[in-house]
Chain A
Amino acid sequence: MDSLLDKRLVLVTGKGGVGRTTVATALGLAAARRGRRVVVCEVGDQQRLPAMLGEVSANGAEQELRPGLFGVTVDPERTKEEWLRYQLKSGTLAGMLGGSRVFQYLTAAAPGLTELVTMGKIWDLAQLERRTEGAVYDLAIVDAPATGHGLAMLRAPSTYAGVARVGPIRRQALIIDEFVRDPDTTGVLAVALPEEIPVNETIDLEERLRDELGVNLHATVLNSVHPQRFSADDARRLEALGEKGSKEARAAGRAALSEFRRARAERAQGRRLRRATRARVITLPHLFEPEIGPDQLERLSRVLERRL
């Protein structure tokens, strides 16, 4: 199987709350360890990456967080202004139009323009010759929006190419579309939890990627999987313990049984995911720790690197 880290662009998507940022960051750490110059890109107005690595955020601007590992936030509104300046090749005109409320409404109404511009910026981050200011990277990893919106973003270049009637932008949209659909340059990584809803969304995502974009999901990272610590026999013995013993012993027994049931339910969801999807499933362990910080990300990145 071709390595995900050898591509130029990796898009990490999945349901809200499944740990997309964690996985994107861990992947970035793994790539940097292998000597790649890598940028992890957040989309929207969030900047969680620097804080997760214990650094102070540079307000979304490109910043080096670890040797070889960079972070940046692509804010659609700011990116749209950048795009306008680039397209109009005139700061004055861009400033004048950008400040017009009507113009803002109209660009908001241009089908998929915001998504296209966001994809354009992401594409630019993955290019060896950048159009906008900034360093050059071997690999760009995108902490993409949740499934539905993430798909809309991926689809934007081809939608837009169909809608745009004027030459240069249509051409640009086609170039971006080709890049994100080419398995040699771009990989899509899904993140899921071993639970009902995220597994459903992942199955749906793989199907829609294939049907709507002709793209195969590279792999699914099944995140936060509990270890199979207790056997069915253990569980029977714990149940037999029942209400005997001290208060603490009973509570500890209940916690162990709960852990057993959770791990069992998770395994069933993992099986369901593997049966229903073609893409490989890579598991990351649940970390029994108060928070995900630099040390935890480092550990996850090593597991991820081994299993990729």
Chain B
Amino acid sequence: MIETWLEGKEVCVCAGSGGVGKTSISAAVALGMAARGKKVAVLTIDPARRLAHALGLDELDGEAHRVDAPVEGELWAMMLDPKRTFDDLVAQHAPDERARDAVLSNRIYLELSNAVAGSQEYMAMEKLHELHREGRYDLLVLDTPPTRNALDFLDAPRKLAAFIDSPSLQLLSAPSTLGLKLLGRGTGVLFSGLRRATGVDLLEDLSEFFRSFGGMVEGFRERAQEVNALLADDRSTFVLVTSPREDAVDEAIFFHRRLEEAGLPFAGAIANRVRTSVPAHRDGLAAEMEAALGPDLARKVLRTWGEERVLARRDRAALGRLRRRLDGAPMIEVPRLDDDVHDLDGLGLLDEHLFRAAQRGRRRSDGR
């Protein structure tokens, strides 16, 4: 099924809230597409150690590594280092070494590149853009950072560009006294207010930042626009990963709305860790189990069975709610496995559900 979503696509962004198995799904999608002859790279941030090991990622070095997997195409994996991406970008756009070092050691820059909301997400997109432009892969699969909101990256390029672009701030890149004169008396109030409110004398850092950053602003703005354009392009698509947990479904619904508002291409949702539908209870089951297993074990099995049915109904209800809110967009269900996925075999188990789910999924929902 998912191969039809990804037909003709070069970029697949997997998004969703934390704890839904997004990294495993991203890796399984990449592996599956590689198995179908594509040259695929999966970009991830901080995957589980064992999964990282399976993908040949023992260190965070920001480089793509070929994964030793028996596939027709090629599978590459890469662990993103957002701070390093930002640093590389600065180095690339800096007119000379002095300007580069001035920016890299500037306090404003350090804060911007490390902690400002959205910059990490944005750098993931930036790396995506860079790899896309290099054109070494047929398909790039991005596992988005596990932010609480999971959506910040949609705004990040715009925020970053706005920050860099702010005309009053840019005046500071002029020699500071001139800048201050141009900004007028208001600036004095602004900075003394800022000092009183934050305890940080930012003026010096800021003017230094904009002086050294001045020459790079144009390059950064262009890149931000290119990244935005790439995400909106019909060669890209967003896949929403969720689980049947209520809060994850809420986030997925919210996320879907945000994608629509932003006019970004949406392929469909993947519901992970779903208890697959269970047949109805039947009279005589208890007697049958008891005859086969003895009273003690039969009682335990029936109890487990009863609980499983309750939880499966809850999963169905939650996914029904999601399906209604997706306005007809397709949804793939991946059943809950007995153990969490952390190696290539585990990813292989997911493959069957991600790539061949169409018929079965439809029959199941029609039959109810």
Interface residues, chain A, with chain B CB atoms under 8 Å away:
15-18, 44, 48, 83-84, 87-88, 93-94, 96-97, 100-103, 105-115, 145-146, 149, 152, 160, 163-170, 173, 193, 195-198, 200, 229-230, 234, 237-238, 241, 244-249, 251-253, 255-256, 258-259, 261-262, 265, 288-291
Residues of B within 8 A of A164 (CB): 198-200
Residues of A within 8 A of B193 (CB): 88, 93, 97, 103
Chain A at the B interface: SS class: helix
Q: Report yes or no: A169 in contact with B199, Cβ–Cβ below 8 A.
A: yes
B328 within 8 Å of A by Cβ? no
Interface segment among B2-10, B30-38, B282-290: the answer is B282-290
Chain B at the A interface: SS class: helix
**CB within 8 Å for A252 and B340 given contacts A109-B112, A110-B198, A241-B292:** no
Number of interface residues of B (CB under 8 A): 71
- How distant is the Cα of A170 from the Cα of B195 in the complex, in angstroms? 12
- How distant is the Cα of A255 from the Cα of B288 in the complex, in angstroms? 16
Q: Report yes or no: B301 in contact with A16, Cβ–Cβ below 8 A.
A: no
* CB-nearest residue of chain B to A164: B199
Q: Report yes or no: B340 in contact with A166, Cβ–Cβ below 8 A.
A: no
**CB within 8 Å for A163 and B107 given contacts A110-B202, A265-B340:** yes
Q: Report yes or no: A169 in contact with B198, Cβ–Cβ below 8 A.
A: yes
* CB-nearest residue of chain B to A265: B339
Q: Report yes or no: A111 in contact with B107, Cβ–Cβ below 8 A.
A: yes
Q: Report yes or no: A246 in contact with B282, Cβ–Cβ below 8 A.
A: yes
* CB-nearest residue of chain A to B284: A246
B293 within 8 Å of A by Cβ? yes
Which residues of chain B (242-285) have a CB below 8 Å from chain A?
243, 245-248, 278-282, 285
Q: Report yes or no: B200 in contact with A289, Cβ–Cβ below 8 A.
A: no
Residues of A within 8 A of B300 (CB): 229-230, 234, 256
Q: Report yes or no: B304 in contact with A103, Cβ–Cβ below 8 A.
A: no
**Distance in Å from the Cβ of A225 to the closest Cβ of chain B?**
14
Q: Report yes or no: A200 in contact with B115, Cβ–Cβ below 8 A.
A: no
Residues of A within 8 A of B288 (CB): 245-246, 249
* CB-nearest residue of chain A to B49: A200
Q: Report yes or no: B146 in contact with A113, Cβ–Cβ below 8 A.
A: no
Q: Report yes or no: A103 in contact with B48, Cβ–Cβ below 8 A.
A: no
Residues of B within 8 A of A109 (CB): 108, 111-112, 116, 163, 202, 206
Q: Report yes or no: B292 in contact with A165, Cβ–Cβ below 8 A.
A: no
Residues of A within 8 A of B247 (CB): 17, 48
Which of B17, B49, B199, B201 touches A168 (beta carbons < 8 Å)?
B199
Q: Report yes or no: A106 in contact with B199, Cβ–Cβ below 8 A.
A: no
Q: Report yes or no: A102 in contact with B169, Cβ–Cβ below 8 A.
A: yes
**Distance in Å from the Cβ of B187 to the closest Cβ of chain A?**
9
Q: Report yes or no: A262 in contact with B49, Cβ–Cβ below 8 A.
A: no
Residues of B within 8 A of A265 (CB): 338-340
20 contacts between A and B (CB under 8 A): A17-B18, A17-B20, A101-B166, A102-B169, A103-B190, A106-B206, A107-B197, A109-B163, A164-B198, A164-B200, A165-B201, A166-B199, A169-B198, A195-B340, A196-B51, A230-B297, A234-B300, A238-B293, A238-B297, A252-B304
Which of A87, A102, A247 touches B196 (beta carbons < 8 Å)?
A87
- How distant is the Cα of A170 from the Cα of B18 in the complex, in angstroms? 35
Residues of A within 8 A of B190 (CB): 97, 100, 102-103, 106
* CB-nearest residue of chain B to A163: B200
- How distant is the Cα of A261 from the Cα of B334 in the complex, in angstroms? 18
- How distant is the Cα of A177 from the Cα of B289 in the complex, in angstroms? 61
Q: Report yes or no: B279 in contact with A248, Cβ–Cβ below 8 A.
A: yes
**CB within 8 Å for A146 and B18 given contacts A108-B116, A168-B199:** yes
Residues of A within 8 A of B166 (CB): 101-102, 105
Residues of A within 8 A of B168 (CB): 102
* CB-nearest residue of chain B to A233: B297
Q: Report yes or no: B313 in contact with A290, Cβ–Cβ below 8 A.
A: yes
**Distance in Å from the Cβ of A138 to the closest Cβ of chain B?**
28
* CB-nearest residue of chain B to A156: B115
16 additional A-B residue pairs with CB within 8 Å, beyond A100-B190, A229-B304: A16-B19, A103-B190, A105-B169, A163-B200, A165-B201, A173-B199, A200-B49, A229-B303, A241-B292, A246-B288, A252-B304, A252-B305, A255-B305, A262-B339, A290-B313, A291-B314
**Distance in Å from the Cβ of B172 to the closest Cβ of chain A?**
10
**CB within 8 Å for A241 and B111 given contacts A100-B190, A102-B169, A248-B285:** no
- How distant is the Cα of A163 from the Cα of B285 in the complex, in angstroms? 69
Residues of B within 8 A of A113 (CB): 198, 200
Q: Report yes or no: B339 in contact with A145, Cβ–Cβ below 8 A.
A: no
B136 within 8 Å of A by Cβ? no
Q: Report yes or no: B198 in contact with A200, Cβ–Cβ below 8 A.
A: no
Q: Which 5 A-B pairs rank lowest in CB-CB distance, beginning with the nearest?
A: A17-B19, A16-B18, A169-B199, A164-B199, A288-B307
- How distant is the Cα of A160 from the Cα of B199 in the complex, in angstroms? 9
Residues of A within 8 A of B50 (CB): 196
**Distance in Å from the Cβ of A113 to the closest Cβ of chain B?**
6
Which of B196, B200, B206, B293 touches A111 (beta carbons < 8 Å)?
B200
Residues of B within 8 A of A88 (CB): 193, 196-197
Residues of B within 8 A of A96 (CB): 189
**Distance in Å from the Cβ of A145 to the closest Cβ of chain B?**
6
B133 within 8 Å of A by Cβ? no
Residues of B within 8 A of A198 (CB): 19
Which of A15, A246, A247 touches B19 (beta carbons < 8 Å)?
A15
**Distance in Å from the Cβ of A248 to the closest Cβ of chain B?**
5
Q: Report yes or no: A97 in contact with B197, Cβ–Cβ below 8 A.
A: yes
Which residues of chain B (63-115) have a CB below 8 Å from chain A?
107-108, 110-112, 115
Q: Report yes or no: B148 in contact with A16, Cβ–Cβ below 8 A.
A: yes
B308 within 8 Å of A by Cβ? yes
